[in-house]
């Protein structure tokens, strides 16, 4: 038998009580306790019998408070659609869905798309509310359309600066404040001419991306150009990296161990390739550790954890990986066994080697796990007087193994 919901999560917009459905109003009238932001609680009629409780800081205290009232008739009043960048998802991590009734309001994204005439399914919806502003960088593509929930009144100008810095100054920005409410205001500017310094804290920004030049932004494909990275030379080169990523084959929510991460290029490609992925970049050299963090910021990736140390000594306690890449330091006798033991069933292990000594180690280990060995050799045309010749790069031996 399904349990009767005791917690109702109600989405409310800037149109307040009048914008709620009759069902939402009845749920609020019948509640014993109502949690909500001060602004949202201010929308409610004064004669409601419920005890009104402003969300405390941190938010987790409010979640604990709601859990302590289990069995009573509790309402959580939140912005817009509770399940779309909303607090509903946070609450449902703690309360079984059978005990919850969710009554959404149109989301800010829906309201914005309606004003703009954009098809929401063709628009990228993002939030920088509690998230790094640079996390939008992976979505900067010519003609892409973004709707971005802001952190505060300064977010629009910060977004404009980011767009200009990354070659999208021609982009059209539309700042939308208090959508659906009496204080609604909608203003448009080009990023390179952005001059709105009086934005309200409650705002979102729609961006129609226009690149200043054809090569602005980063491709969604693996194998980013080498010169896009900060590096001291310890970098898996573009052509090798593209092949490496094809065999690592990132999927939604998977975890990578990038052992001997160097400049962090493999970790960054992994995080950009699929949603919800995480990467542990393991690097013992301090200068390269700083480079990894610099590259992560440059590409705006989230989900990268820097492990400062030498493998295999620093691997204990890390999240079990779905894939492991070893690009350096494969000479330690215990590293292979440690990695292979930690790898999930069905996981992928890719090792790149250059030296004869490491090649010999790969040849030996490949027999144990029925791995593939492939040899990659690249040559690039370079000038020689009035002619051109092929200049060979160092050949790479790649071991590719899948754990059964």
Q: Do residues 267 and 383 share a domain?
A: yes
Pairing of strands 323-326, 348-353: parallel
Q: Specify the pTM.
A: 0.91
Q: Domain check: are 202 and 269 in the same one?
A: no
Cα–Cα distance list, 383 to 237, 380, 386, 390, 391 (Å) = 21, 10, 7, 9, 10
Kindly tell me if the per-residue pLDDT of 396 is higher than 80. yes
DSSP bridge pairs for 188: 174
Owning domain of residue 192: 109-208
CA distance 374 to 392: 17
One domain, residues 191 and 317: no
Q: Are residues 98 and 146 in the same domain?
A: no
Summarised one tens digit per residue, pLDDT across range 118-162 is 999 999 999 999 899 999 999 999 999 999 999 999 999 999 999
Of 10-19, 29-38, 303-312, 326-335, the one with minimum mean pLDDT is 326-335
Number of domains in the chain: 3
What is the longest distance spanned by two Cα atoms in the chain? 89
pLDDT band at 330 (very low <50, low <70, confident <90, very high): confident
Please report, rounded to a whole number, the percentage of residues in the chain having pLDDT higher than 90.
96
Instruction: Read off the CATH number of the domain in which 351 is found.
Output: 3.40.50.150
244 and 144 share a domain?
A: no
């Amino acid at each position: 038998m399904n349990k009767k919901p005791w917690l109702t999560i109600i989405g409310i917009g800037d149109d307040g009580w009048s914008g709620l459905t009759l069902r939402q109003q009845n749920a609020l009238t019948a509640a014993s306790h109502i949690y909500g932001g001060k602004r949202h609680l201010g929308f409610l009629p004064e004669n409601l019998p419920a005890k009104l409780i402003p969300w405390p800081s941190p938010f987790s205290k409010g979640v604990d408070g709601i859990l302590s009232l289990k069995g009573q008739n509790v309402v959580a009043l939140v912005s817009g659609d509770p399940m779309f960048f909303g607090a509903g998802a946070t609450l449902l991590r703690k309360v079984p869905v059978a005990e919850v009734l969710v009554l959404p309001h149109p989301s800010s994204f829906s309201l914005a798309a309606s004003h703009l005439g954009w098809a929401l399914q063709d628009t990228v919806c993002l939030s920088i509310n509690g998230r790094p502003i640079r996390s939008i960088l992976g979505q900067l593509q010519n003609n892409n359309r973004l709707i971005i929930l802001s952190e505060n009144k300064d977010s629009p100008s910060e977004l404009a600066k980011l767009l200009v810095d990354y070659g999208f100054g021609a982009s059209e920005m539309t700042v939308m404040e208090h959508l659906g409410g009496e204080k609604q205001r909608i203003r448009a500017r080009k990023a390179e001419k952005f001059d709105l310094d009086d934005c309200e804290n409650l705002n979102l920004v729609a961006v129609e991306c226009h690149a200043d030049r054809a090569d602005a932004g980063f491709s969604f494909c693996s194998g980013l150009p080498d010169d896009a990275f900060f590096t001291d030379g310890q970098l898996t080169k573009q052509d090798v990296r593209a092949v490496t990523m094809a065999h690592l084959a990132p999927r939604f929510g998977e975890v990578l161990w990038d052992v001997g991460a160097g400049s962090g290029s493999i970790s960054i490609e992994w995080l950009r390739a699929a949603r919800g992925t995480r990467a542990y970049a393991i690097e013992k050299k301090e200068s390269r550790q700083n480079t990894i963090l610099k590259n992560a910021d440059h590409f705006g990736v989230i989900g990268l954890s820097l492990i400062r140390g030498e493998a295999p000594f620093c691997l204990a306690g890390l999240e079990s990986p779905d894939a492991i890449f070893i690009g350096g330091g494969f000479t330690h006798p215990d590293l292979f066994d440690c990695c292979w033991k930690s790898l999930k069933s069905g996981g992928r292990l890719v090792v790149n080697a250059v030296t004869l000594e490491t090649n010999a180690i790969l040849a030996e280990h490949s027999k144990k796990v029925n791995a593939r060995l492939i040899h990659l050799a690249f040559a690039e045309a370079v000038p020689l007087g009035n002619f051109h010749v092929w200049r060979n790069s160092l050949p790479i031996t790649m071991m590719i193994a899948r754990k059964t």
